[in-house]
Amino acid sequence: MRAILGGTFDPVHVGHLHGAQAVRRELGLDSVTLVLSARPPHRSAAATAEDRWRMLQLAASDQAGIETSDVELRRGGPSYSIDTIRAFRSGGETVVWILGSDGLDAFRTWHEYEAFATACHLAVLVRPAVAVTAPPGFRETGEAAALSRHDTGLLFRMRAPMLDVSATRVRTSIARGGDASGLLTPAVWNYIRDRGLYRG
Ligand code: ATP
């Protein structure tokens, strides 16, 4: 079973790592894969895909059980999650797509959103003050082991509380000349400072 957290990671922060580790623990997996959304279809990014990829690699390098994938960086065109899910599934793996509960609200705007329920399971990171509603075709389960018994179409809600951190908060803080080091790994904070990213 392959659990994937896709994101713009502009930049990757402790909330992402904490969420990925919660999934690894609660689903009993050896690893979780962070996939960089190189060209996100619904938004722009402040940093280049190359800088975001470097930061993602730096953040993962000292985390046990966190892998990174540049599959969307190498693929041309917009970074559609469904294409990434299909790519991993073609290797025969059951895919668990991880997303924050804020992402569920926009689910119906996703490219080929109706195809998700027959392509993957969902693992939802419950971010503070955001409710969880299962998207069409998904059925919620409270049993982590059910994800291994079924191929697709289940939604599992993480029990661990998530951190109240966002990349927007990191960027805003840096643009104001603030210290965002507590929201990032030391290597990512150093990279941002060395490259002068997000200064506004
Ligand atoms: P931004 O503030 O720029 O929108 P973000 O912090 O939400 O960014 P993304 O890279 O867009 O970061 O997020 C990738 C995924 O991680 C999304 O599914 C998002 O909901 C989730 N996520 C982001 N921050 C957290 C957090 N603190 N806890 C749990 N999940 C999170």
Determine if the peptide bond prior to 11 is cis (ω within 30°): yes
Of all protein residues, the one whose alpha carbon is nearest to atom 6 of ligand 1 is 166
Of all protein residues, the one whose alpha carbon is nearest to atom 15 of ligand 1 is 7
Within 6 A (CB) of ligand 1 lie: 5, 7-10, 15-16, 19, 99-100, 102-103, 125, 127, 162-163, 165-168
Q: State pTM to two decimals.
A: 0.96
| Å from CA of 119 to ligand 1 middle | 22
Q: Which of 110, 111, 120, 114 is nearest to 86 (CA)?
A: 120
User: What pLDDT tens digit does each residue of the chain (200 aa) get?
Assistant: 999 999 999 999 999 999 999 999 999 999 999 999 999 988 899 999 999 999 999 999 989 999 999 999 999 899 999 999 999 999 899 999 999 988 888 889 999 999 999 999 999 999 876 678 899 999 999 999 999 999 999 999 998 999 999 999 999 999 999 999 999 999 999 999 999 999 97
In angstroms, rounded to a whole number, what is the distance separating the alpha carbons of residues 55 and 61? Answer: 10
Q: Which two three-digit tokens encode residue 151?
A: 């191929």
Q: Which atom of ligand 1 is nearest to the CA of 9?
A: 10
- The residue count for the chain: 200
